[in-house]
Structure 1
Amino acid sequence: MTDPASEVAPAVIEITPGRRPLPPVVALAMEQELKNLIGRLESALLLSQSRDLPTTLTLAEAEPVLTAAVGTVDLGSELSPFLHPTLAEARQLLQDWPTLLAEDNHEALKERWLAVRDGLWESFPRERPYAQPEIRAVWLDRGTIVGARNPEGLARLFDRLAAAGITTVFFETVNAGYPIYPSQVAPEQNPLTRRWDPLASAVELAHARNMTLHAWVWVFAAGNERHNRLLNLPADYPGPLLSRYPHWAGYDNRGNTIPIGQDKPFLDPANPEARSYLIRLMSEMVREYNIDGIHLDYIRYPFQDPGANRTYGYGEAARWNFRNITGVDPLELSPRPNPSLSQGQQLQQRVLWDRWTEFRIHQVNSFVATLSTTLRRQRPGLVISAAVFAHPEHERLQKIQQDWGTWAKAGHIDWVVLMSYAQDTSRFEQLLRPWLGGQTFGSALVIPGIRIYNLSTQAALDQMQTARDLPTPGFALFAAADFNSSFDTLLAQTQATPAPSAPVPLALERYQALQREWNWLLSQQKLWMERSVLEQWVQNVNQLEADFIALADSPSQRGLDRVQQGLTRVREPLTSQMLIETANSAYRLQVWHHRLGTIEHLLRHHEAQQGRR
């Protein structure tokens, strides 16, 4: 069994050339993906076209003359100059889709779909930055930091990130048990950075470029076999912590500190000494460095497979504590039924196994709660985030005991950064939608993660645009090590300089981007409602901007209430009664609701932050 932390979710759409028939589920996914891609390209084109317009909406004297029915437009029409010609080709393919399937012309279907997809990707605007204000984070990994060699090299790296429009840097500060800075709490600094203090340099460099800096910390993973090779240490070296404090170690049910197929030993989250050490270490970072946030990684147990009787968490402290609570050593329990036992004994085993799972979940949950309380007491405005898996909740709890929904709902973390790494955009969206739909996680922001390794620049841009069209405040890119010149150029071409990081100014700028988009559509006579309704809506849109500016200038609860009420008034008319002359008006309305929903969530996030001050 390999650690899924190093895996990427497979593509939904796998296309093999030739006449081999497409499975029905794949053909359906291709059709839906094409519809969504049309919408994403149009989103980018609208943002690009409207970028320099004023935010105040104005109405033409005459009623607009609509050239199409609700929901669609003739994409070849000269009345739609912002629509790229490839959109017409895509629409034509969608029209031909049922016929091609009925004729079993799968070879032509695949060829045309790939050609159209590539054409749409190539049509994303690159002549100037167009991306809306958003959180754009990057994981800046240890290897890249070490490769910078000194503050001057790190400055060049931060120059690249700033030019790419990055707003937030997750700076790998603790890796494999080693802090990257000279710590008074940790037993030793990473040997590869002993000549300097990368964290001190990074904070200064980030702030000078209007970026925020979050210390990225491996929490319970305490070593790394691959890192041992870099330091010419034995492969089985457990890291600087467990080599000194072996009783802090976690174990699997076979007595191994590293589960089979994986390469990292873990601390026992139930060990009070290990917990105290981790809290003191992160408290030191907050006290000694002007960091903007703490980013928690490996905030879980290692991956397990209970169905194969591969489980983890049997550290000395965990076994003693669980035995003290239940009278049973957890090593005597098994997730699999034992047919030699009576039904009553099997039921008791099941109950005890569930208690053991709950016990381990609680160890992580209680640690996050204690850490959050401690760090916020030191610095109330600190942003606490966590890199977490997008797996279904039940699977996560059983396999890694990571209950991040509870942390978010309790207000212990500010950002949920999903490691939603996928080989194609369809899978990426599948991973995200369960967490961006009807569920809410308190005031916490849910931020998708995009792994750019092995993605083409066009595919990476498409996943970024997907995040922009969903109800998210931005995205995080994994990792800086995988940036190259073509990706740097893409980001610089499409993303402006870093946006404000505070929730209210960020929400205001996102709202103004929407205003410009609406203003462009109105100026082109491509947005229509009943005249009286439209006039009232335009008035509400403009009034909301005024209220928003007042709130940003002078925050107050009364001002926040006015903005939230204004958002409701602006959202209400965005229904099928509004006619929009675009490729897919239903998609456009959905995106607007998503973007307004994100603005509302940023305001709730602001309200929660104010409550902690």
Structure 2
Amino acid sequence: MKSQVLDNKKNPKLLLKNHRFFIFTAQFIIVNCLNIVSVKAATPAPVLSVVQSPENTQHWIGITKRLQTIGVPYCVLPLENVKSAADWGDRQVLFLPNIETLTAEQAIALERWTNKGGNLIASGAVGSLSAPGVRQLLKNLLGSYWGFSLNNKQQLKPPKTQLPAWVNQKGLFGQVHGGVLVPNDGASKAVAVWNSQDNAAAVVSTERSTLLGWRWGTDAASSAELDTAWLQVALNRHISTPANGNQKITESAPNCPAPIAKTPSTSPTSPTDAINPVSTRKQDEAIDQLEQTVRWDVVPNSHEPINAGEAAAMQQQLENLIGRVESAHLAALANAPKSDVSQSVKGEDRQLATTRLVTPIPNQEQVLAQARVIVNNLPRLIANKNYALARQQWLVARNNLWKQFPVDRRLAPAEIRAVWLDRGTIVRAGGEQGLSKVFDRLAQSGINTIFFEVVNAGYPIYPSQVAPQQNPLIRDWDPLAVGVKLAHERGMELHAWVWTFAVGNQRHNELLNINPDYPGPVLAAHPGWANYDNQGKIIPVGQTKPFLDPANPEARQYLLKLYEEIVTRYKVDGLQLDYIRYPFQDPAAGRTYGYGQAARGEFQKLTGVDPVTITPSQAQLWQQWTAFRTQQVDSFVTEVSQMMRQKRTNLILSVAVFPLPEAERIQKLQQHWEVWARRGDIDLIIPMTYAQDTVRFQQLAQPWIASTQLGSTLLIPGIRLLSLPTLGTLDQLQLVRDLPVGGYALFAAENVNHELHKLFVNTQGKFASVINEPIPHRDPLQSAVTRYNALQREWRLVLHQEKLQISPKVISEFHSQAEVLQNALTQLATSPSPRKLLVAKSSLTRFQSQFRVWMRDQNISNSYQIKAWENRLSTIERLLRYGEKRLELNSQQRTNQSPKF
């Protein structure tokens, strides 16, 4: 489905023949065309671009089948390729099926594209997960926005007003599971409504847009017949020369070039730039490449022009930061001891803004006001080409806002607060006494989960009966035994963090003062288990680690025995798989990996082809080879999961993974963690969303947090502390707390300096309740209750101070339904059962739908806080889903342990 890249050296010009002639000269041209039906003598260009993103990938089969039924000639446009208006292409119509996240840059480009005459068709909760400014822009473009989801399927019917002439096809009205659309005043028109008392809008149109209020292309939402009927009439109205009546558009084009992309050699965000085999510093982590492709830099005093996309992003980021600061203050007051809360509320003037709930320094209000002024002034400064001043004011506002975060109050309850405890810190501890001090600091910081580095570069940190050699840096003690003891004494969990397929490290060899080319103890003992690149090298160019061949059955069995030893000899609470992938590769540059003896032999048996002879230009074979390698990793995760469930059902299996786009990740790492999640093999996904600022962090984390492909698995973003300013770290943590996730993981313990330690102690540690607080992955149902209680405290504070302009009738209904949900969650946590789980889930779903209605007006004036509250409700929903999985596992365990007669 993804776009193909044409080599400009072989094909510098592409001539597209139709009733017009265009010549595109480019370094590479993204081409992803679908020739659907036979080409007539005069082949017209496609009239439709269909936008694909990670959010609608799971729907893509259904989307494609429906498009083929209609027979419209179309092109697939990857959303990630869109940076400017030109990137949306020059087709007459653009279709956005079920795309909920657009960047400010993409939204502005979309507005410019429509201003040039483009027509939009969209479906589902389009843009609903985007930033507030983006949602507002899309609302203007589409004439409406997605209000809330309906609980069940409802009948789609015509409105009471006269139907427009273009809604003239049968099969448009039937049972659909969708959501309520909220039209704008004026030019918006509801052309279909839901069969409800208020006849809420289901399809809304403007002169240049049509919005369908359900997830198009999904059988769970609607039938294929109804989907195709609506798209057909929408296309007919938006195409300048529509087909007559119900006639399908059957012409197809032989080529459908997407807009010309920037050359890899000049684009600052090109993945090619990130791969530098002759770098002065060896890059042995794929995250190095990832960080270099996600850039956000506001350089002080720079006079470089600021384009419209950058300007919008700068505004949006300051608005979001203002929202995070206000949200943090509200959470701080809600989580304060009761005596503090009552005193603060009693003495607070009801007319003050929410930001005055807690005031760590006198000028907080002035800073927030000044930041809002800067947000509003940025467009004028940029229009006047005063770029240096715009950047300077932006940086001043950001730094001043950072200083407004409450740093002396508790900010969040019942979250996963994890840290990777690295080998270096363990080695430096030198023994139980030294390691005890490390655990004391982490416990004081409120950390409740330790990822303890147990296997590194092929060396276990404990005396193993399976591995060839214990880490030589450890002498006369067992750090794993000591670590488990220390963690449990402090009420923390300890998960064994293991390197999986990476079994050596040239940097570790330097520490041991041995030959840099030493492959590590495992491959030294078993050289036949080694993996190789396409040049026959064990360690890829520019990297530092040799890998096992995941297709080698003996290597797999060795790892399984090693992990079994860890989880049976030691009372660890879980196992975390790191390096559960192949080394970083770049097939387009001819750097590929995976040619171990076992893999080559097995693939040759399956296909009759030695994979060493295959190149990416052989599309079908290369896809088979990539799928084969990916399957080796997938199946090993399943085997580890099954082994752990058999040994100890209550163990938690987590994975440290890369947040690269799915297709790119499979090509470059063969790491398909969405599959592991959907199969239920893993409990926690920790994407290494490492970034030097909050903007980049959100760009990396947001797609995966919003993903619907993860089943019941909990996702916990990773934050790298190295080089992060202290308040920048707090900013990233606050973003996590305002998103629908249950916690975070910090990399790594060695980077928790004195300043960070003090911050953590003051904002998430030192509270007696932390010790008895549930950990979401261990006790998800009680965590759901705890988090909901905190959410209710925030609502009570805001309602008490009349910060929400809601009628008394709505407030009464709000309180009543909130209490119903409270009772359902409490009863479930107290005495879990499938029936109580069903009641709790139903109550939550109903409350979420009503919440969007109750807060509809507030969403206009305080969209960030309303979205944060919705996200926290979503977190509770995810905890219930994960809790259902844990209940099933516990039930299976009881069944297996019951006596057999």
**Same-fold status (TM-score > 0.5):** yes
Q: Which residues of structure 1 form unaligned runs of 5+?
A: 59-64, 68-73, 338-348
Q: Which of 771, 774, 786 pairs up with 1:500? A: 774
Whole-angstrom CA distance in 2 between matches of 1:392 and 1:406? 14
Aligned to 2:181: none
Q: Deviations over 1:28-84 (max 9, x none)?
A: 2211110110111111000112224769x99xxxxxx997xxxxxx96998998974
SS of residue matched to 1:124: coil
Aligned to 1:260: 541
Aligned to 2:710: 441
Matches within 5 A, 1:240-259: 240-259=521-540
Aligned to 1:9: 291
Aligned to 1:38: 322
User: Is 1:535 the equivalent of 2:812?
Assistant: yes
Over 3 Å counting, the alpha-carbon distance change for 1:537 and 1:264 in structure 2 is same
Whole-angstrom CA distance in 1 between matches of 2:396 and 2:559? 52
What's the TM-score once normalised by structure 1's chain length?
Answer: 0.92
Aligned to 1:344: none
Report if the CA contact (8 A) 2:716-2:742 is conserved: yes
Q: Deviations over 1:463-502 (max 9, x none)?
A: 1111111111111101111110001011111113353121
Aligned to 1:71: none
Aligned to 1:98: 379
SS of residue matched to 2:523: coil
SS of residue matched to 1:555: coil
SS of residue matched to 1:169: strand
Over 3 Å counting, the alpha-carbon distance change for 1:332 and 1:18 in structure 2 is closer
User: Is 1:421 the equivalent of 2:690?
Assistant: yes
Q: Following TM superposition, by how much is the alpha carbon of 1:560 offset from its aligned partner in structure 2, in angstroms?
A: 1.6
Structure 1 or 2: more helix by fraction: 1
Whole-angstrom CA distance in 2 between matches of 1:397 and 1:228? 30
User: Is 1:481 the equivalent of 2:750?
Assistant: yes
Aligned to 2:200: none
Q: Deviations over 1:334-391 (max 9, x none)?
A: 12x3xxxxxxxxxxx3211111111100100011111111111111111100000000
Structure 1 or 2: more strand by fraction: 2
Q: Following TM superposition, by how much is the alpha carbon of 1:451 offset from its aligned partner in structure 2, in angstroms?
A: 0.6
Q: Which residues of structure 2 form unaligned runs of 5+?
A: 1-276, 278-282, 343-348, 891-901
Whole-angstrom CA distance in 1 between matches of 2:580 and 2:632? 11
The structure, 1 or 2, with the larger RCO (C-alpha pairs under 8 Å, 6+ apart) is: 1
SS of residue matched to 1:104: coil
Q: Following TM superposition, by how much is the alpha carbon of 1:93 offset from its aligned partner in structure 2, in angstroms?
A: 1.3
Aligned to 2:848: 571
Q: Following TM superposition, by how much is the alpha carbon of 1:566 offset from its aligned partner in structure 2, in angstroms?
A: 2.2
Q: Which of 791, 813, 817 pairs up with 1:514? A: 791
Whole-angstrom CA distance in 1 between matches of 2:636 and 2:519? 22
Over 3 Å counting, the alpha-carbon distance change for 1:551 and 1:20 in structure 2 is same
Whole-angstrom CA distance in 2 between matches of 1:376 and 1:76? 48
Aligned to 1:340: none
Aligned to 1:604: 881
Matches within 5 A, 1:17-36: 17-36=301-320
SS of residue matched to 2:653: strand
What's the TM-score once normalised by structure 2's chain length?
Answer: 0.63
Matches within 5 A, 1:65-464: 84-335=365-616, 337=617, 349-464=618-733
SS of residue matched to 2:716: strand
Q: Deviations over 1:396-419 (max 9, x none)?
A: 000110000000010011111000
Report if the CA contact (8 A) 2:653-2:684 is conserved: yes
Whole-angstrom CA distance in 2 between matches of 1:479 and 1:79? 33
Q: Deviations over 1:216-262 (max 9, x none)?
A: 00000010001011111100000010000000000001110000000
Over 3 Å counting, the alpha-carbon distance change for 1:76 and 1:52 in structure 2 is closer
Report if the CA contact (8 A) 1:451-1:477 is conserved: yes
Q: Following TM superposition, by how much is the alpha carbon of 1:303 offset from its aligned partner in structure 2, in angstroms?
A: 0.5
Over 3 Å counting, the alpha-carbon distance change for 1:75 and 1:89 in structure 2 is farther
Report if the CA contact (8 A) 1:172-1:217 is conserved: yes
Q: Deviations over 1:157-207 (max 9, x none)?
A: 001001111111100000000000111111111111131111111111111
Whole-angstrom CA distance in 1 between matches of 2:819 and 2:791? 11
Over 3 Å counting, the alpha-carbon distance change for 1:582 and 1:210 in structure 2 is farther
Over 3 Å counting, the alpha-carbon distance change for 1:600 and 1:287 in structure 2 is same
Q: After TM superposition, where is structure 1 displaced by more than 4 Å over at least 4 residues in a row?
A: 74-83, 579-584
- Stretch moving more, 212-221 or 553-562: 553-562
SS of residue matched to 1:13: coil
Aligned to 2:826: 549
Q: Deviations over 1:553-600 (max 9, x none)?
A: 211122222222222233223236437879951111111111111111
Aligned to 2:217: none
Report if the CA contact (8 A) 2:326-2:354 is conserved: no
Q: Percent identity?
A: 49
Whole-angstrom CA distance in 1 between matches of 2:367 and 2:696? 24
Report if the CA contact (8 A) 1:39-1:584 is conserved: no
SS of residue matched to 1:36: helix
SS of residue matched to 1:213: strand
SS of residue matched to 1:364: helix
Report if the CA contact (8 A) 1:249-1:266 is conserved: yes
Letter in 1 for 2:750: A
Whole-angstrom CA distance in 2 between matches of 1:78 and 1:126? 15
Question: Rg bigger for which structure?
Answer: 2
Count of residues in Structure 1 that have an aligned counterpart in Structure 2: 588
Over 3 Å counting, the alpha-carbon distance change for 1:326 and 1:194 in structure 2 is same
Whole-angstrom CA distance in 2 between matches of 1:253 and 1:18? 44
Aligned to 2:252: none
Aligned to 2:135: none
Whole-angstrom CA distance in 2 between matches of 1:297 and 1:226? 17
